[in-house]
Amino acid sequence: METKRITVVAAGLSEPSSTRMLADRLAEATEGALLEHEVAAEITVVELRTLAVDIASMMVTRVETAAVQEAIKQVVEADAIIAVTPTFTMSYSGLFKSFFDLVDKDALTGVPVLLGATGGTARHSMVLDTAMRPLFAYLKAAVIPTGVYAASEEWATSGLSNRVQRAGRELASVIRNLPRARATDPFDPEGADFETFDQLIGRS
C-alpha cells in the first residue's frame, strides 16, 4: 500500500487544546479518505506549544535547536500539511507565524495545505481567508479550497463535522492525484523552472 506523509502543525497554547482537537479531526478525516483509495497516511504532529521557547530563542539568536530543526524537517519533507492555529485579534497566533517565519520561503512550493483555525465566536471565521491564505500563498503552497474554522459553540454540531469531512476528502484527493512539486533553487540549471539564456534566446 502506498504511504503519504502528512505533517500536522498545531499552534494551540493550552492543554488540552481545541486547536489540537481540530487538527486531530482533520488528520483523521484525511486518513480515512485516503484509506478508501488504499493509500496509507503516516501522520506526524508538530505541537508548537512545546517548542515555544526554542522558537523565540531562534528568532533572536538564529541558533537552531535540534527540536526546531526536526520540526522544520517534518514540515518541509511532508507530502501534505495540516496547519491549525487559534485566532487572536482576527489573525493567527504569534507562535504560529514565528514558526513559519523559520521555514525557508521556497521549501513549501507546491505542497498541499489544509487550513484550520479555532476561536470563541464565528465572527472570526474570516481569519482563514484574510490571514492564513495570504501567508501560505507567499510560501507558494497549494492551499485546498475548504478551510475549517471551529467556533466554541460548533463542536457538537453536524455542520462542523461535515466541513471537516469535506476538507479531509479534498486534501486526500490532492495528495493522491498530484505529485508534490518540490522546491528547486531558481539559480540551479537543473531546476524544473529554470531557463538558460540560450533557451530564452531560442524562443525569441
Predicted pLDDT of residue 178: 62
Predicted pLDDT of residue 30: 98
pLDDT tens, 105-143?
A: 999 999 999 999 999 988 889 999 999 999 999 999 999
Predicted pLDDT of residue 201: 46
Predicted pLDDT of residue 200: 40
pLDDT tens, 69-80?
A: 999 999 999 999
pLDDT tens, 30-53?
A: 999 999 999 999 999 999 999 999
Measured between alpha carbons, how far is 174 from 76 in angstroms, rounded to an integer?
17
Say if residues 127 and 119 touch (Cβ distance below 8 Å). Answer: yes
The amino acid at residue 44 is T
Beta bridge partners of 142: 112
CATH number of 2-202: 3.40.50.360
The amino acid at residue 176 is R
Taking alpha carbons only, the member of 41, 44, 64 closest to residue 54 is: 64
Say whether pLDDT at 198 is over 90.
no
Beta bridge partners of 86: 118
Say whether pLDDT at 83 is over 60.
yes
Cα atoms in the Cβ-side hemisphere of radius 13 Å centred on 190: 1
Measured between alpha carbons, how far is 100 from 111 in angstroms, rounded to an integer?
14
Say whether pLDDT at 187 is over 90.
no
User: Could you tell me the pTM of the whole model?
Assistant: 0.86
Domain locations in the chain as residue ranges: 2-202
